[in-house]
Amino acid sequence: MIVALLIVILILVIMLTRSKKSLTNEQQRSVGLTQQLATTAQSHNAELEQRAQRAVAASRGSYNGHVAQQAFPYSPDNVYNPKDIFHLGGVMDYIVFDGLDEIRNNSRDPRTLSVVFVDVKWGGSRASNVQMAVIDAMNVGRTRGEIWHSRESGTGGLAYTRRETA
């Protein structure tokens, strides 16, 4: 009977020892996973911080570009009369009718008017392929002027006809 009791006690000790080892292994695994989670969270937070910094820099660049674009007609570096500069937006920022104000005042020959497309860039930004195509077309003379006349159509809408070209 004592032998049987000793065997039962030995079995219980073995089971408890295995249970402690198992618990220790689970605890170690839990600690490892907790550390891995903490490292992942730190990496994630660092990435979020970098994204935020890039977003702020991009926003600042966009804002500065917008300010530079809007201030261009009044800049001391601008060689054109601000009254000759008209905002387009889109592909090009401005169209300049160089000499237009003087022609309006009858102080310049209308045949000396020149037309200039201007796009304002900030920092290291570059002209797009489309912008370069527009500038190239202007510079090599692939341009024309047209006048279109509108009238009421028979259905109550508007119709347009090209009547004159310059």
Q: What is the CA radius of gyration of the chain?
A: 38
pLDDT of res. 82: 96
pLDDT of res. 71: 93
pLDDT of res. 19: 59
Q: What is the spatial distance between Cα 119 and Cα 127, in angstroms, rounded to a whole number?
A: 8
pLDDT of res. 28: 73
What stretches in the chain show pLDDT beneath 70?
Answer: 1, 3-6, 8, 10, 12-24, 164-166
pLDDT of res. 30: 75
pLDDT of res. 144: 87
pTM for this predicted structure: 0.64
Q: Which two tokens stand for residue 59?
A: 């926003």
Q: What is the spatial distance between Cα 130 and Cα 91, in angstroms, rounded to a whole number?
A: 7
